[in-house]
Amino acid sequence: MSALPRLAVLGSGKGSNFVALQEAILAGKLRAQIVLVASDMADAVILSRALGFGLPTATLPPSPFRTKLSPEGEIALVELLKENDIEWVVLAGYMRVVKEPLLKAFPQRIINIHPSLLPAFKGLKAWEQALAAGVAETGCTVHYVNQDIDAGEIIGQQRVPVLPGDTAESLHARIQVAEHELYPAALAKVLSR
């Protein structure tokens, strides 16, 4: 094993949080190495961004379920992670619910970022939930992943004001800026323990 913690990043979309993490590593702000980027979507932009950094990628087997991998798929993911000597699993816009095989293989070693100040606005499109609720502020949360959705122990949070005239798009864009600051810092804190 390397002296640096070995990370796998799982994502389903554009990978902007992955980029923030990799740039923090390259800048020396996050002492870790991303050794694998995997997606449940073969055409996810995160995979091409990872290749742009020269990092290995993998596409997870298709699932018959919309919100989770099949049990066989999750077991295959665990095997893939173990083959790559992964120590920490980092979720970056990974749109699947993590289930028992992965939770059991990496207890208290799966980290996620969520676009709200948990425990408020769990689940999908949290920024839209915040706007609909009329709150004065929202933000983002880095947390450990457990068996319940967006309910694991909180590692760090960053607040984002809801401005007059905000749309879902403008609020989400500001939350993403906060995510890109918070995620590398929170992960650095966890890995330094």
> Which amino acid belongs to residue 76?
A
Contact present, 5 and 32 (Cβ < 8 Å): yes
* DSSP annotation of 159: E
Q: DSSP states of 109-149 as a string?
A: -EEEEESSSTTSS-SS-HHHHHHHHT-SEEEEEEEE--SST
Asked about 114 being catalytic, the answer comes back as yes
Contact present, 74 and 102 (Cβ < 8 Å): yes
Contact present, 96 and 69 (Cβ < 8 Å): yes
Instruction: Name 142's bridge partners.
Output: 113, 156
Looking at the chain, how many residues does it have?
193
Active-site position among 114, 143, 172, 180: 114
Catalytic residue numbers, as ranges: 114
